[in-house]
Amino acid sequence: MTTRRLATLHVWGVPGRAVPAALVRMATDRRPLRRSPGLRFAKLLGTGSGLSFTVRDADPRRWALLAVWDDEHAAAAFETGDVVARWRRIADEQWSARMRPLAARGRWSREEPFGRPWPQRWDGPVAAVTRARLTPRKAVRFWRAVPPVSADLHESPGLRLALGIGEAPLGLQGTFSVWDSASALNSFAYDRAAHAAVVTRTAQEGWYAEELFARLALLSSEGTLDGRDPLA
């Protein structure tokens, strides 16, 4: 079925002097987040390049919040609330996106954050969210397989933005990416040899104890990353 849920991603860049304050926000914002009316799911996230999915990728000057809301009204109310205001006070750059779930499979922390939306046609930019919890004894083989796929991702036609995201430096990680269109995303997912090989190995080797893949319609975005609008 279709869904009224709205997903939002906030990304905040902080100056070096504000990194300790960002770490405090990561530790203390969970409780006020849970009290937000209309919130279905939320994760405060570290970010990185996503090139190796190890601690080497982590960027202590960039943090994110992925949230899923009952509807647009709940998301809009949160935007003017205390959590966002506290991040804005310490950030020197911010970027945010509003998204509608198009398709999702799998779980994140034993939840289905985007529901089970009926696949819908969407002709605009598309965001993709992947998240995995690695099986510890198979993590090293996963990390060895990642670099060719990550390098290929960043060179893929139609890619506008790619971030590594994670709840922890190791073992809990994913990606957030934005593409010109669903066809550009499909071309990377199914036609690029490096990604296809890893998909095959994932099924064969069982790298993940839990995994989620979601596709979302990018409704709007505002702000900058690294001084520019990634969708301009």
Q: What is the pLDDT of residue 1?
A: 47
- CA distance linking residue 175 with residue 164, whole number of Å: 5
CB 63 within 8 A of CB 25: yes
Neighbouring CB atoms inside 10 A of 101's CB total 25
The pair of three-digit structure tokens given for residue 137, joined into one six-digit string: 């004894």
- 200-221 pLDDT per residue, tens: 666 555 567 788 999 999 999 9
Joined tokens for residue 105: 């499979």
Encoding tokens for residue 72? 């647009």
Q: Tell me, what's the pLDDT at 58? A: 81
Each residue's pLDDT tens digit, 61-86? 999 999 999 999 999 999 999 999 99
Give the whole-angstrom CA distance, residue 149 versus residue 170: 18
What integer best gives the mean pLDDT of the chain? 85
Tell me the whole-structure pTM to 2 decimals: 0.86
pLDDT at residue 171, as a whole number: 45
Q: Of how many residues is the chain composed? A: 232
Pick 86 or 192 by higher pLDDT.
Answer: 86
- Between residues 172 and 108, which one has the greater pLDDT? 108
Task: Classify residue 111 by burial, with Cβ atoms within 10 Å: 0-12, 13-18, 19+.
Answer: exposed
Please tell me the distance from the alpha carbon of residue 182 to that of residue 179, in angstroms, as a whole number: 7
CB atoms within 10 A of CB 140: 10
List the end-to-end C-alpha distance of the chain, in Å, as a whole number: 32
The domains of the chain, with CATH numbers, are 6-222 (3.30.70.100)
